[in-house]
Amino acid sequence: MSNDWPMALFLLLVSPAVGSFLGVLVDRLPCGLGALTAPSRCATCRARLGWRDLVPILSSVATRGRCRDCGAAIPGHLMRIELAAMLAAVLAVALTGATAEMWLIAALLWCLIALFYSDLLHYRLPDALTLVLLMLGLLRAWVDPARGLHDSILSAAAALAAFWLIRWGYYRWRGREGLGLGDVKLMAGVGAAVGWSQVPVVTLLAAGMALAVVALDAVLGKSRPSADTRLPFGSFLAAATAVILMI
């Protein structure tokens, strides 16, 4: 646990606001919209949201998850992202000691949360988010004497190349894309953050998660798996990376 309790407390206090901003990124970046170019509005009636509607978590509780003007339901993922951002801050404080490491772990987890929901909801991994993940991964390695920036750069390049080859090979074999280019870019950040030795672990864990979800959907009768089943594999990669960061 971090010994710098003022900074740890500050991290915990700002985490809901960070989560609210992540929700904006998830809703706008995959659609090609600027995150800061327009005020927040109700997706149904387009009414502009006031400050009372933008207080993280509390606003959703006060309005029971509905727009004050038209009563339309507010997307539930927004509050879940805010709660996830708070959990990420709690884990960063609980599992790290140095202040710099605490903030870097929290930032990495926040970026992974945004990537997880972007792919889950839109099947897109925005370049802005994958680039931020790469920068954070390089920064984490740079301040870690056990790794260093050189190791992080090589790990990022190796992970990027490996997934690009998988993508190319699948296309040559099946004549269609089986892995999105966003997943390839995502793996550069993953490699930088966790190191090359952990990339196979992340990949296997993500694949296991994906198979478990497909199997559960089949058991529940939601869908029948096939070669054409579309999965947000980037979401599983982001989740697996978060698990590895916490170990």
Burial track 33-60 (b if 16+ CB lie within 10 A, e otherwise): eeeeeeeeebeeeeeebeeebeebeebb
Q: Residues 123, 230: contact at Cβ < 8 Å?
A: yes
pLDDT for res 2? 61
Distance CA 144, CA 164 (A): 28
| Cα 50 to Cα 39: distance, rounded to the nearest angstrom | 9
For the segment 90-110, what is each residue's pLDDT rounded down to a tens digit?
999 998 878 889 999 999 999
Cβ–Cβ < 8 Å for 11, 103: yes
**Model confidence at 194, in pLDDT bands (50, 70, 90)?**
very high
Q: According to the model, what pLDDT value does residue 58 have?
A: 79
Residue 60 or residue 157, greater confidence: 157
Does pTM surpass 0.85?
yes
Interval 115-149: pLDDT, tens: 999 999 999 999 999 999 999 999 999 988 888 89
